[in-house]
A and B are shown apart, each in its own frame.
Chain A
Amino acid sequence: MNRTERLGMMLVLAGLLLLLILLNTQTYTFNTKSAGEFIEDSTQLSFLQPEITKIKNSVFTSKVAFASAYKNAVDAANVNIEAAANAPEPSENNEEETDSLKNKEEQVVKKADKEEKDSVTEDAIQTAGKQEAKIDDNETGGIEEDYTTGFLVKAARGPLQEHTTTFLITVLGLFTLGSLLVTYGKYAGKPAGIKNNDLFKKPITTVKWPAVLVGLGLIAFYIILYWFPYLLSDWILLVTPIKNLFKNGPADENFLYGVIYSLAVLLLGIKMFIKYRHSSYQKIRTISVSFFQLSFAFIIPEILAYLKKPSVDLKNIWPLDYTFFYDSNINELLSNGKLGVFMLVWGIALLVVIVPLFTYFFGKRWYCSWVCGCGGLAETAGDPFRHLSSKKLVAWKAERIVIYSVLIISVGMTVTTLINYFSNGAVLGTATESFQKWYGFFIGSIFAGVIGTGLYPIMGSRVWCRFGCPLAAIFGIIQRYKSRFRITTNGGQCISCGNCSTSCEMGIDVRWYAQRQQNIVRSSCVGCGICAEVCPRGVLKLENGKTENRINNNPIIIGNDGIHVVQ
């Protein structure tokens, strides 16, 4: 590491440190007004307001204490709501029941409106779906949804709340400048080309303590983000000035995640671009993944939310987007006029027309390493860890069992969802809901998020894509059996050095094929092209071509004319 790199690294670490400090600089005071921004149901509000008023003068220094005070307030309010609902007033009983039903219906409609505003990604829609389901079951009309995070953002008092924009610019500045300096120090003034020097000597890229620390940090981040987002309320406050640009409601944890994700893809995309500046394929591909993350995954859904339309990531495809066929999503799209219908048709067309067609012509790479958000992060932030994927045969065996299991489970989950949808819940009832919850928890959150990204510095950048992603599994089947894509091996030029296999993020033992002059036709190949880049002898080329002899087997490599295989 030279001086510039070190300075850059220090700025990035300073940014991280500042972020951590910002989590502990605020006090939190209940703002009675803000309750109305979250709870639109007047009955609920009327029961909650007095409880909050009781504690509105308390100054909390910890988010946990605030959250527990809020929970107590809600519990108390709910007890009162229940008491009121069960109050025996026999003469007007019927009427009131009707009222309360009406009330509930209104409530559902209001919730749906709110979801539109809040939801940023498919995750948000999914969460909202769960909440809606809960409200339907809510017999007493109590407050079920957890608004702790929203309250906390509003309740913050302190330097961050007073100078939010200044802090935001400082944090973004530290990360941007730091990352650019690292890139500059690493590559400026040096000849372009493959320079993996010391990759297997640095602790961060060889699963030593710094790598474990980063991995644990990422895992902790995902666990907090998914299950305890209120602990990140200060960071949500921090990104509020960005959210305000879109004029579509308050920032939430999903928006925070979108900002962090896009920033990582962009800044480390620049690094990737410079690192492979000698290769047009890598440059164009990096621009592509950065573009799709910034526009399709981040900005367009925000604009859609501003326009009060379903805020959808239009490049997200079922079953990666496992909530696509959820009744909440279908209903939302169908209640949004022509645009909503278009989105529904588009989502289905992506799956049944574009996926097979594009994969036939270009292989799964058109999506996995050019468009996909998960791929985007893997191909930018994950690049320094690509060599950590296991190339062992057992890893390949495990990969096939696990990924196709996830595919089967995701299909099963969606089929039950649809049966439930078309039968109006008559066939499977609440079983579907628990199936969805289970899938969302284990596959959507733990596998794709916590493990998928948390294990970057331990198992490489494509853990989710290789072992988990059901969409990748579908792509893989098409790529293996019906595609023009392959990696061609250049005659007898392979020297079995192993650079290709080492750099494969999907754990393909590329050399196994290359040294036999066999084309590489593997369902998992995402076509990142790095194997071809690192090859010192010009042996590998990603190609789309005729399907005859795409999968070949050459017992004798060319260059040796003495031996012929008897056909």
Chain B
Amino acid sequence: MQHIVIIGNGISGITCARHIRKKTKDAITVISAESEHFYSRTALMYIYMGHMKYEHTKPYEDFFWSKNNIRLLKKRITKIDDEAKNIMADDGTVINFDKLIIATGSVTAMYNWPGQDLKGVSGLYNLQDLQKIEKETENIKQAVIIGGGLIGVELAEMLHTRHIAVTILVKDNYYWGNVLPEQDAKLIEKQLKKNGIKILYNTELKEIKADEAGKVKSILLNTGDEIKCEFVGITTGVKPNISFLKDSNLNTDKGILINEYFETNCKDIYAIGDCAQFANALPGRKAIEQVWYTGRMHGETLAQTIAGKRSPYTPGPWFNSAKFFDLEYQTYGDVPTIQKDTHKYFFWRHTHKDVAIGIYYNQADKTFMGINSYGIRMRHVFFDEFLKEKKTVQFILANLNSAIFDAEFSQNHIPDIIDAWNKDTGENVKKQQKTAKVFSFLKKFL
């Protein structure tokens, strides 16, 4: 029986612990400086908005851990000794390990702006950030958010529910410019405007200014303008939380360098999740994957190795999702910001509703590459299967009805989408007959 020590109780570390427990009787210790128990950090915004309380964000009841013989420690680890095979906490506790898994996640990336440490400046990543935001946005009127991405919209929605006027600074000339095609971004812009959020494009933060009390009073932009505000939210992204490793023997770049088995340069030490950086990125993937889902997959995969079956990380087709105020977004496969010359992006948008889909495909052989869907829920299994089978865009369109995951009685937009495609291309993709299902069903019984 070996002792597995996991630093970090986020989705990566916890998933890994759970899967090791499923397969082995090893002693497992999970250490976190952030919280006693695993909670879902994706739900931080809902705690602020009052949709839930902290206890609702814990996916497992507190008894789950002792019942499954997973030891939890709330400590901040400051030192890793790979030769002596132990780690040390800031209170002096030394913990020996047989195998060590580092899953410490991220911290908010700050870019050395003057004033970034002032009272009233915060990122949104962990529980402590949330407590800080809760305190520093109390009874304020004006806030600025730096960075137009997923967390930026979440923070805007949070502040909006407290009737705080929000301005978002976006570096690119449209929203989430490093991920979305421009047409898509217009939908998100509409959501923001509908909720009274002000967006400034092509704008960057230069300096945060303080009042006499050392609290934020305004920000200076690269354009020379000054905006008054009482709170500055930093949502320009996150970076691996590895500063505590600087005296260790681990090789790091932006994150902890790993191979496809999550192995670091030190024997029996692994890294997963946000804090890990693949020395050689997998084809079509980033070297650092800071997404809930990839963290989970890292944990699942490494658990196999720890349990004795050395397994490389081979993720399936990319997928992700988000919600921008009331607009739901799902993506499957590859939809780049700027299309290659050999590929095309078919985009359909409802005339007045906030519903749209974009399909990216290869122009030569019509291979379906990926889809962005807004306001229509789509089935993951459908796209996972057909992306792997490299189906054509026509096949996808003709079968898109089976992909819909909206609630019953929802309006079906697929016929309109197919009409638009046929009009665009002059093709004649057939619409799936809705009644067919009913008939086949009746046949079964009659």
Which residues of A pack against B, CB within 8 Å? 191-194, 196-202, 278-281, 284, 392-393, 488, 490-493, 495-499, 501-502, 511-512, 515, 529, 532-534, 536-538, 541-543, 555-563
Contact (A281, B408) CB under 8 Å given A493-B319, A498-B57: yes
Report the minimal beta-carbon distance from A211 to chain B, rounded to whole angstroms. 15
Q: Could you say which of A191, A202, A529, A560 contacts B326, with CB atoms under 8 Å apart?
A: A191
Q: Could you say which of B22, B42, B315, B379 contacts A560, with CB atoms under 8 Å apart?
A: B315
Task: Identify which of residues 307-330 in chain B touch chain A, using a CB-to-CB cut-off of 8 Å.
Answer: 311-317, 319, 321-323, 325-326, 328, 330
Most chain A beta-carbon neighbours within 10 Å: one of B315, B317, B380, B406: B380
Q: Is the CB of A196 within 8 A of B380?
A: no
A542→B326 CA distance, assembly (Å): 20
Q: Could you say which of A200, A280, A533, A541 contacts B50, with CB atoms under 8 Å apart?
A: A200
Cβ–Cβ < 8 Å partners of B43 in chain A = 495-499
> What is the 8 Å Cβ interface bit string for chain B, positions 363-385, against chain A (1 contact, 0 not)?
00000000000000111110010
A284→B409 CA distance, assembly (Å): 9
- B106 interfacial by beta-carbon distance below 8 Å: no
Q: Is the CB of A562 within 8 A of B313?
A: yes
Q: Could you say which of B46, B293, B377 contacts A497, with CB atoms under 8 Å apart?
A: B46
Report the minimal beta-carbon distance from A498 to chain B, rounded to whole angstroms. 5
Cβ–Cβ < 8 Å partners of A511 in chain B = 59
Cβ–Cβ < 8 Å partners of A194 in chain B = 326
Instruction: Considering the complex, give the chain A residue whose CB is closest to the CB of B304.
Output: A563
Q: Is the CB of B59 within 8 A of A191?
A: no
Report the minimal beta-carbon distance from A310 to chain B, rounded to whole angstroms. 36
Q: Is the CB of B293 within 8 A of A492?
A: yes
Task: Identify which of residues 394-414 in chain B touch chain A, using a CB-to-CB cut-off of 8 Å.
Answer: 405-411
Instruction: Considering the complex, give the chain B residue whose CB is closest to the CB of A533.
Output: B407
Cβ–Cβ < 8 Å partners of B315 in chain A = 559-562
Cβ–Cβ < 8 Å partners of A542 in chain B = 407-408
A558→B315 CA distance, assembly (Å): 9
Binds A, one of B95-103, B265-273, B295-303: B295-303
A201→B319 CA distance, assembly (Å): 34
A499→B312 CA distance, assembly (Å): 33
Q: Is the CB of A532 within 8 A of B409?
A: no
- B254 interfacial by beta-carbon distance below 8 Å: no
- B126 interfacial by beta-carbon distance below 8 Å: no
Contact (A536, B328) CB under 8 Å given A200-B50, A559-B380: yes
Q: Could you say which of A493, A502, A557, A563 contacts B56, with CB atoms under 8 Å apart?
A: A502
Task: Identify which of residues 222-249 in chain B touch chain A, using a CB-to-CB cut-off of 8 Å.
Answer: none
Which residues of B pack against A, CB within 8 Å? 11, 22, 40, 42-43, 46, 49-53, 56-59, 61, 63, 161, 194-195, 292-293, 296-297, 300-301, 304, 311-317, 319, 321-323, 325-326, 328, 330, 377-381, 384, 405-411
Q: Is the CB of A197 within 8 A of B321?
A: no
Instruction: Considering the complex, give the chain B residue whose CB is closest to the CB of A281.
Output: B407
Instruction: Considering the complex, give the chain B residue whose CB is closest to the CB of A205.
Output: B50
Q: Is the CB of A197 within 8 A of B49?
A: yes
Q: Is the CB of A541 within 8 A of B319?
A: no
A490→B380 CA distance, assembly (Å): 6
Most chain A beta-carbon neighbours within 10 Å: one of B11, B292, B312, B317: B292
A-B contact pairs, 26 of them (CB 8 A): A200-B53, A280-B408, A281-B409, A490-B379, A493-B319, A493-B330, A495-B40, A495-B43, A496-B43, A496-B59, A497-B46, A497-B52, A498-B43, A498-B58, A499-B46, A533-B407, A536-B322, A536-B328, A538-B405, A541-B405, A541-B407, A543-B408, A560-B297, A560-B300, A561-B315, A562-B301
Q: Could you say which of A493, A529, A559 contacts B316, with CB atoms under 8 Å apart?
A: A559
Cβ–Cβ < 8 Å partners of A515 in chain B = 59
Q: Is the CB of B52 within 8 A of A563?
A: no
Instruction: Considering the complex, give the chain B residue whose CB is closest to the CB of A283.
Output: B409
Report the minimal beta-carbon distance from B263 to chain A, rounded to whole angstroms. 15
Q: Could you say which of A196, A393, A496, A538 contacts B61, with CB atoms under 8 Å apart?
A: A393
Cβ–Cβ < 8 Å partners of A393 in chain B = 61, 63
A284→B319 CA distance, assembly (Å): 32
Q: Is the CB of A560 within 8 A of B316?
A: yes
Instruction: Considering the complex, give the chain A residue whose CB is closest to the CB of B191.
Output: A191
Cβ–Cβ < 8 Å partners of B317 in chain A = 559
Contact (A563, B51) CB under 8 Å given A498-B40, A558-B316: no
Most chain B beta-carbon neighbours within 10 Å: one of A202, A280, A563: A563
Q: Is the CB of A537 within 8 A of B321?
A: yes
A197→B46 CA distance, assembly (Å): 8
Q: Could you say which of B11, B326, B381 contacts A193, with CB atoms under 8 Å apart?
A: B326
Cβ–Cβ < 8 Å partners of B42 in chain A = 495-497
Q: Would you list the 5 A-B pairs with minimal beta carbon distance, nearest first?
A: A491-B380, A193-B326, A538-B377, A562-B314, A280-B409
Report the minimal beta-carbon distance from B386 to chain A, rounded to whole angstroms. 13
Cβ–Cβ < 8 Å partners of B319 in chain A = 491-493, 559
Cβ–Cβ < 8 Å partners of B379 in chain A = 490-491
Cβ–Cβ < 8 Å partners of B377 in chain A = 490, 538, 541
A502→B40 CA distance, assembly (Å): 13
A491→B384 CA distance, assembly (Å): 9
Cβ–Cβ < 8 Å partners of A538 in chain B = 321, 328, 330, 377-378, 405
Q: Could you say which of B46, B300, B330, B411 contacts A563, with CB atoms under 8 Å apart?
A: B300
Q: Is the CB of A558 within 8 A of B46?
A: no
Report the minimal beta-carbon distance from B56 to chain A, rounded to whole angstroms. 5
A559→B410 CA distance, assembly (Å): 27
A536→B195 CA distance, assembly (Å): 18
Report the minimal beta-carbon distance from A260 to chain B, rounded to whole angstroms. 31
With contacts A497-B52, A502-B51 known, what are 18 further pairs, Cβ within 8 A? A197-B51, A201-B50, A278-B326, A493-B293, A493-B321, A496-B42, A497-B42, A498-B58, A499-B46, A537-B323, A541-B407, A557-B296, A558-B380, A559-B380, A560-B301, A562-B297, A562-B311, A563-B304
Q: Could you say which of B53, B316, B330 contacts A561, with CB atoms under 8 Å apart?
A: B316
Report the minimal beta-carbon distance from A288 to chain B, rounded to whole angstroms. 11
Cβ–Cβ < 8 Å partners of A496 in chain B = 11, 40, 42-43, 59
Instruction: Considering the complex, give the chain B residue whose CB is closest to the CB of A534.
Output: B51
Instruction: Considering the complex, give the chain B residue whose CB is closest to the CB of A497.
Output: B43
Cβ–Cβ < 8 Å partners of A501 in chain B = 56
Most chain B beta-carbon neighbours within 10 Å: one of A279, A499, A538: A538
